Structures are given as structure tokens and as C-alpha cells.
Structure 1
């Protein structure tokens, strides 16, 4: 017999259940696993807590008096599009749990709860959230404004293409560099389609191995492979009558590309470990930041799958090719950041805007948003000058041109990241929101990185006998 320590990162998990014994049992298990657990007895209490506390995940019972778990999922999704939610349901109510997943829950657990299954599910959803992979639901009427901002000729053409293709059920391939807003365009297409009332389910292709991705796409039966201790619903089943978004589809393994091609051609598939054929009514949207025709020529992507995906291709130009849109985007980000910080709209001086107009933006719209947000967080007296971010832009310009005089050689990337986070946190006297804004990441991502590098207090770990 040996004692091993659980290797997974910890998380701050909120447990919602009206049964005091049940919720405390879940909290106890989570804390033994190294997570921080907080408990509340109702959905209303959970929503109130989430207004002031940043949680990494939520585990909620389905059947509760007053607001039930399904409505809680809907309410949380209106406030936070990314926090993973796990639904706990009685045996025989799996269909309701699946419905909750269509509205944004990340996974579900059946009663009676199994500690190993709880561990596996909570760890999986936390890891998926950290990597950017999540199931989301688009709320009708909430158009992604930033995806549509711009009066350049290129953006006018994109808006026209969206208006033409959204009402149809055709497959759309959205092409563009990282940070241009491909996912936002996909959400806009879904929200403008006849499927807007159903779920938009996303799969971030680069974060999963071929084996795991097949299970995530199509689901699996119990016992289909070693760790399949229960059946799992796949993304296509979750997206039924809605839309599935395959983000960065060029990363899908060749063996799985053939199975995906069959879904697009025949509208059917089988779960892993099952011979039962399931039909599907799902619209497929895909994104890629690679040259897919080039990938086809290189033999890394199937030609027939490419043609099936590119029924209607929409290409988003990089921000450096539509500089006239920068002032409009800056104005939008200034207003959004002011609203989040509950401050008056910040004033950006003319020389500051001119500096932004001259930058090449290798990170595109995402980089611009991060820069504007960072400047607002650090602004004094509501004024943003060129001096507030000129050093950030010049640093990024050096990286783009390959000037590495100040970059240490022989230091591992994770060590460089740890040093940067530590130095930035110290610079802002431990203020996490300012640190996250300066680094261009979310506070939740910063918290995860702090824990992974041992820069934040960790909860006790679980010693497990094997």
C-alpha cells in the first residue's frame, strides 16, 4: 500500500443543495481532494454569493424548492458565460440533466454520488475551463456586438455574409488569425438563425487527444474504455436541434476526420462502445486559424472534409488590415470596461489613439481589448495618455520583429511565466484584478496560474491509499 497525493490543481467550488447532509458530504470530499468548498442551501443564496465571490465551478442539485437547478443554470449563464456547472440528479432524471447541459452545464452526476466520479468530473470541468473548452448557450437577442463593430469595407462584407448565411442551415467555415473574433462571429450566426432558441455547444479541438475528442463529440457507453465508469452524452447530442462549434478544427486527428465527415454527409453517428446509430439534426460551424488548403496539400487534413466544411467560408481580416475600425473598437471597449469597473467612461487622448492606430496588432482584436482594459484599470483621473501603454506596445513590437536582446536564453517557458506573474503581482501590491489586466488575462485564469505555480495559498490535498 502506498500513499499518493492528488496531482490536480485546486479550485474554489460552490455546492448548492437544500439537503444539509448531502451538500456537506460533497464539500468534505472536495476539500479532501484539495479543492476549497463552499456550501449554500438554495439557488437564490448561490446567486447572491456569486455577486461578490469568484468561484471556479458550481456543483448544484437539480431538485430544490423554489428555484430549481435548471433555472439556476440559466441564471448563472446570464451572468457568467464561462464558469463550469455540474448538475447532480437522481437516477432516472438524466434527461433533465442533459437539458441543463444544453443550457450551459458542463456535466452531470447521478445519485447516489460516487467520490471517484465526483473527483473525475470536477477535475475535468476545471481543466476544460482553464483551457478554454466549454459548452455555452446563446441567449436569444444578446448579439455579440464586438463581432459586428467596424465600418471598413471588409467588415461590411462580413456583416453581409452573416446576414445571408445565418437564416440557412448550411455549414460555415470561419477563417482568420487568432484574436480576430472567429468565435464571436459563430455566436452571431447562431443567434441570428432559426436555432437561436436552442444550445450553441462549443468544442475547443486543440485541447483534447484523438481518443478523448471522439468521446466528447459522440459520447460513450459505460465500459467503452478503462475510465468509462458511466455513460456520457456527446457534444452532438447536446447540440441537438441547435448548433455545434468546432473551434480550430484543423487540430482534429485524421482518423477522427473521417468520422466527422460521415456526420456531415449522412447526419448520423455512433457513441464510442455502441453499435446503435443515432441521427442528428445539428448545424455545424467551424473555425480555423490555419491555411486549410495548405493543410490538405500537406496531407494533414482531408480534402473531402474541407469541401464539406467550406460550404460558406467567411474570412475575417486581421486588425492591421482594417485600421479604420480601431477607433470604433476602442470606444466600445472603453464603455464596456467603465461599466465593469463602475466608473465614468475613460477619456483617451488623441496621441494615445494615434499610437494605437499605428500598432500592427499581432494579437488582433483580443490584444486591443486587453490593452484598453489594462490602460483603464491603471488610468489616473480617468485620462489615458500614450505614455500609459507605449511600453507595452513597443515590447510586443520587438517580439514580432524578432528582437530578443532582453530575453533570457535557456530558461523554460513555464519558469518565465512564473517570474512574470510573480513580478507583476508584486508591482501591484498583490492586487489580482490589476495584475490580471496588466497580463491580459482574466482574474480566474490568474488564480489558476497562481495555484499551479505555488504563488497562492493552497487548500490541503487528499492522501489516497492505493
Structure 2
């Protein structure tokens, strides 16, 4: 597809000659004489680059540039002037102009600037698409009261620079909340840097956070930039912050207090401006009481606390989460979309989910890969879901007969799972005639 250019100049000769040159280069071009015509054209069509004269009758080019930047920030603007000054060029640049061309126009230079402007616009478009993909990826799924409250809290707190401490069990989605905080913050266009404090050996975490100079310790064969410095201007996510040693905590505290630090082996201070978002699955107040976590660091981090509830406390969100993951993995693995049958959904909502949303996500991924049918039924679910933390149908029974029936049903479903839905094979595993098993299944309400 041809690139679309909009030329805005009140000199007819410039419009005609430059339009002809650019058309010969293969561009689609529209030429207009004034600022309002330019704005109207942008409302009616999409242009990658605008070539805009500074000095025009009526609305001048700088005012048009300001309005274009407000209403069409994805459009790249190149300014043109017959008697440009340094002051005008500086103003145009501050308003967002990509480049500046002086009359009389050099054809060679104009073509180079247009080419560069189009490349810049393509990069802007790519970044926009990546941001949209990230927003789709980092969604807070759920309509339960706790999740609605969490989304409201995120919308309120994300635009601030306050430090955040996210509490929640493993697998609840603390990292997701950190990403959403960053994406909705004023730093969204800057870097998001993540550190898993529990995964880095104690002897390396200081170097990982603050960087080091070559030769500062055995194995330091080159200079290393630390995570704090990489996050300058953006957000630094300290996951599992409760697992840091007291020595590392002291250095992190100092970095937070002073907004500066020394890399390992250096005596030079490096200043940084990074918003710190921390997360933990521990009760830090209990850790403080045990002497495992610094109280002063806790108060530095705990400016804005967020609590991510475990999945067992928001079971009404399980159908939404399951549907979201089904779509995600059907797309990932190129499979036809699947759905969860009501009997399977009953099992999912009754299960305790000790691994929280991460466990549910992993299960749905496995089901998308392993289940040949479009409809995921109860029989396709793994046996573990039927004996989780005592929350099975068996404990809900009131008589011995009901308990026996519930146990038989669970046991038969387990064997059907092992036999991958093959009733004849399941009958062999159970030591029953196939016809006997069919009658049992019918009695117990197990679909074949």
C-alpha cells in the first residue's frame, strides 16, 4: 500500500511541484492550502506524514501543528519554512515536529526527510500495536466484588508515583497487577523491569540490583548495569521481596531513601528515578517480628498496599477465567475454540485451587492440548480435582448410601480419565463387564 502524505502550503507553485515529485516517487499525496483544510483532511482520511508550512494566511503552521499533535498524535509532522529561524525550529520541535525543511526546497533532502519520517511513523505504529497487545495480555479478569474493588484501586493509584506493596498467595496474579499498575501509570511508555528476589542467589542479588564494575569480584568479567539503573524513568518490580536478606534490604532501603546507589566495586553514585512496586506472599509484619525483615523498609514500600485475593475466595470468577484461558490457548495452539460443560464447571468451582489462577491457567492449557472434543466434560478433568483439600462431593453427603455412591462416582471418573474416556478400557481397569459399567454410569449420572 502506498504511503499517504498531506502537503499544506499556501503557495500554489509549491503545492503543484512538490506534489508531482512525491507522486513520481510512488506516494499518495493530497495538497491543501490552509490550516483548517489540513485539519479537515485529517478528520476525513489517514495520513502517515504531514508536510506543513509554518507561515500561512489564517491559522499559522505552529498552531496547526499543536492541534495535529492533540488530535492525531500518530501522524508525523515535518515543518517547512521560507524564512525559518532557530527560534521557530525550536518551538516546532517542542510542539512535536519530527524535522524542519527550509525553502527553497532541495529535492534530495526532502525525499530523505520524507523517507525518515515514514520510518519513524512505522515505528510509532508498531509501538502502539505492542501497547494494545500488552493491554490485552495484562487484563484483570473477574466481576467478583474483590476484583471490581481491585480494578477501582488500580485506576485511582496507578497514575501516582507512590510505592506499592502487593500482597497475595503464590499464583494469585501479583505480577499481573504490577504490569497493570505500570501500564496505567504516567511511566507507561518507559521500561518495566522485573526482579524475582527469591530466584537470585544471595551472593549475586546485590550485583543484579545495583550492577557492578569489571573485576569487582571473581567472575565479574565485564561491567554490568543493575536493575535499578535499567528502570530509570520507569517501574522496578521487586517480586518476592520478603525473600531478600537483611544485608540486601539495607542497600535497597538506602537506594529508596536517596534515589541513588553505588554499583558493586564503584565509588561513584548513580542517581535514578524509578517507581518501585514490590510483591510478597509472606506476612511481612510477622517477618518483622521474627527479625527477618526490616521495619523501616516495610514502611518505605508499604505506601500503597494492594491485596490480591486467592481464587477460592472468588469462585464466581472461575467461569470467566476459564473462558479467557480457553480462547488464549486455542489461539496459541491453533485449535478450534472449546467450551467447558456445566458438569465440569461445577467441579472447577468446587475445587480449592491451592495454586490459584496459575493452577487454573495450567489446567486449561493442558485440557486444550489433550482434549480431542470441542466440549470439555467432567470426565476430561484430572482426578486431583475430585479430592482437593476435602472439598469433594463426598463430604457434602448425609447418609452412608450417598457417601458410597459419591465415592463410586469419583472412582469411576478417575478410571475413565486414566482410560482417556474409553469405556471398555475403564471397565477392564475396574474389573467389570462393559455392560455393568454402563449401568453404573447411568445410575450415577456419568455421561459416556
- The TM-score with structure 1 as length reference comes to 0.55
Is the 1:355–1:390 contact (alpha carbons within 8 Å) kept by the matching residues of 2?
A: no
Q: 2:241 aligns with which of 228, 239, 249?
A: 249
Question: What do the CA deviations read for 1:196-226 (whole angstroms, capped 9, x no partner)?
Answer: 1111111111122232000000001111111
Say which SS state the counterpart of residue 187 (structure 2) adopts: coil
Is the 1:270–1:276 contact (alpha carbons within 8 Å) kept by the matching residues of 2?
A: yes
| Residue 196 of structure 1: aligned partner | 188
Question: What do the CA deviations read for 1:346-401 (whole angstroms, capped 9, x no partner)?
Answer: 0211100011010010000001111111112111231211111141313654799x
Q: Which runs of 5+ in 2 are unaligned?
A: 1-128, 393-418, 421-448
| Residue 160 of structure 2: aligned partner | 168
Separation in 2 of the partners of 1:271 and 1:352?
54
| Residue 143 of structure 1: aligned partner | 135
Larger Rg: 2
Question: What do the CA deviations read for 1:71-102 (whole angstroms, capped 9, x no partner)?
Answer: xxxxxxxxxxxxxxxxxxxxxxxxxxxxxxxx
* Higher helix fraction (1 or 2): 2
Is the 1:222–1:231 contact (alpha carbons within 8 Å) kept by the matching residues of 2?
A: yes
For the pair 1:341 / 2:333, whether they are aligned, the reply is: yes
Say which SS state the counterpart of residue 143 (structure 1) adopts: helix
Question: What do the CA deviations read for 1:162-188 (whole angstroms, capped 9, x no partner)?
Answer: 111111111100110000000011001
Say which SS state the counterpart of residue 198 (structure 2) adopts: helix
| Residue 382 of structure 1: aligned partner | 374
- The TM-score with structure 2 as length reference comes to 0.57
Flag the structure with more relative contact order, 1 or 2, with Cα contacts below 8 A and sequence separation at least 6. 1
Is the 1:269–1:279 contact (alpha carbons within 8 Å) kept by the matching residues of 2?
A: yes
Separation in 1 of the partners of 2:267 and 2:322?
53
Say which SS state the counterpart of residue 265 (structure 1) adopts: helix
Q: Report the alpha carbon displacement of residue 316 of structure 1 after superposing the two structures with TM.
A: 0.4
Say which SS state the counterpart of residue 161 (structure 1) adopts: helix
Q: Report the alpha carbon displacement of residue 342 of structure 1 after superposing the two structures with TM.
A: 1.4
| Residue 221 of structure 1: aligned partner | 213
Separation in 2 of the partners of 1:146 and 1:351?
30
The 3 A distance-change label for structure 1 pair 338 and 395 is: same
The 3 A distance-change label for structure 1 pair 287 and 191 is: same
Separation in 1 of the partners of 2:137 and 2:204?
34
Q: Report the alpha carbon displacement of residue 146 of structure 1 after superposing the two structures with TM.
A: 5.8
| Residue 318 of structure 1: aligned partner | 310
Say which SS state the counterpart of residue 393 (structure 1) adopts: helix
Q: Report the alpha carbon displacement of residue 341 of structure 1 after superposing the two structures with TM.
A: 1.9
Q: Which runs of 5+ in 1 are unaligned?
A: 1-137, 401-426, 429-466
Say which SS state the counterpart of residue 301 (structure 1) adopts: coil
Question: What do the CA deviations read for 1:305-353 (whole angstroms, capped 9, x no partner)?
Answer: 0011010000000000011111110110111111112122102111000
Separation in 2 of the partners of 1:147 and 1:317?
16
Separation in 1 of the partners of 2:268 and 2:344?
61
State the superposition RMSD in angstroms. 2.1
Q: Report the alpha carbon displacement of residue 270 of structure 1 after superposing the two structures with TM.
A: 0.3
| Residue 211 of structure 1: aligned partner | 203
